[in-house]
Amino acid sequence: MNKIKEAQEILRALGLPPAQYNEMAALTFLAICNIKENENKFFQT
């Protein structure tokens, strides 16, 4: 699973409504967490 999909799953698990776990919200979440494309900071691969 790629980082965007994983971020969306985290946002969904937090109980956010669907509009808040779309791709843009997931990218924003990753940016706030300072997670880059090639890092495995919080996610297991």
Number of structural domains in the chain: 1
Which contiguous run of DSSP H or E holds residue 20?
none
Domain presence at residue 10: yes
Residue 11 lies in a domain: yes
CA dihedral 25, 30, 36, 38 (to 10 degrees): -80
The whole domain housing 7 covers 3-32
* Structure confidence at residue 36 (pLDDT): 79
pLDDT of residue 15: 96
For residues 35 and 25, the model is more confident at 25
Sorting pLDDT into bands at 50, 70 and 90, what band is 40? low
- Give pTM, 2 decimals: 0.76
pLDDT value at residue 35: 85
Residue 24 belongs to a domain: yes
Would you state the pLDDT for residue 23? 94
In a domain, 41, yes or no: no
Residues with Cβ within 8 Å of 42's Cβ and at least 6 positions away in sequence, in order, are 33, 35
Please, is 15 exposed, middle or buried when counting C-beta atoms within 10 Å of its C-beta (0-12, 13-18, 19+)?
Answer: exposed
Task: List, in sequence order, the alpha helices (H) in the chain.
Answer: 3-13, 23-32
